[in-house]
């Protein structure tokens, strides 16, 4: 399975592509989509076009994108949401299934600590993917989102195999949690 991770940003949108084969994660590529200091619609168009180019070049099976959090500055949150929307539209237009993860989930999956720093994420991405160098912060976050998705899908698939057993015991899974 090939996973495209996206770390949305209005000026810099990070991306990372990994392959998952059984329990092995392999680095494919990473980088950023940069927008120029032009008007907002042009920036959003650049993000959309950049995501479409990634889809046509790397053919991802699935995509994972970071959810936004409510910032202290509502204007910044709205702008980030628009950048995220442009990336999601590109993915949907390219017929790539999209999965969303909170920053806390990313940090927990990659570092094992929900309040990890960007530096810690970068270093763990290097270790988990056996990279020879340190990726930029935005690219590392995007690779982290892809890693988070790879681990989450594995867990959800395992739960799916357990569904018949859980049903017999009057249990079910809702939003990733086991409920009696």
User: Which residues are tagged catalytic?
Assistant: 7, 66, 138
Number of Cα atoms under 13 Å in the Cβ half of residue 105: 20
61: left (phi over 0), alpha (psi -120 to 50) or beta: alpha
Alpha-carbon span 15 to 65, nearest angstrom = 9
30, 139 Cβ separation under 8 angstroms: yes
Give CA–CA dist 150/170, Å, rounded.
29
For CA atoms 13, 24, 172, 109, give the dihedral sign. negative
Q: How far apart are CA 102 and CA 145, in angstroms?
A: 9
């Amino acid at each position: 399975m090939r996973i495209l991770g996206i770390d949305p940003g209005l000026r810099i949108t990070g991306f990372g592509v990994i392959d998952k084969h059984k329990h092995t994660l392999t680095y494919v590529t990473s980088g950023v989509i940069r927008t120029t200091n032009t008007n907002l619609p042009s920036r959003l168009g650049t993000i959309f076009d950049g995501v479409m180019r990634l889809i046509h070049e790397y053919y991802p099976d699935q995509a994972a994108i970071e959810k936004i959090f409510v910032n202290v500055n509502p204007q910044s949150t709205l702008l980030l949401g628009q950048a995220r929307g442009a990336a999601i539209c590109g993915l949907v237009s390219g017929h790539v299934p999209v999965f969303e993860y909170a920053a806390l989930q990313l940090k927990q999956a990659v570092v094992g600590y929900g309040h990890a720093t960007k530096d810690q994420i970068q270093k763990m991405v290097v270790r988990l993917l056996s990279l020879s160098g340190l990726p930029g912060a935005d690219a590392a976050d995007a690779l982290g989102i892809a890693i988070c998705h790879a681990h989450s899908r594995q867990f959800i698939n395992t739960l799916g195999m357990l569904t018949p057993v859980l049903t017999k015991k009057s249990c079910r899974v809702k939003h990733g949690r086991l409920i009696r």
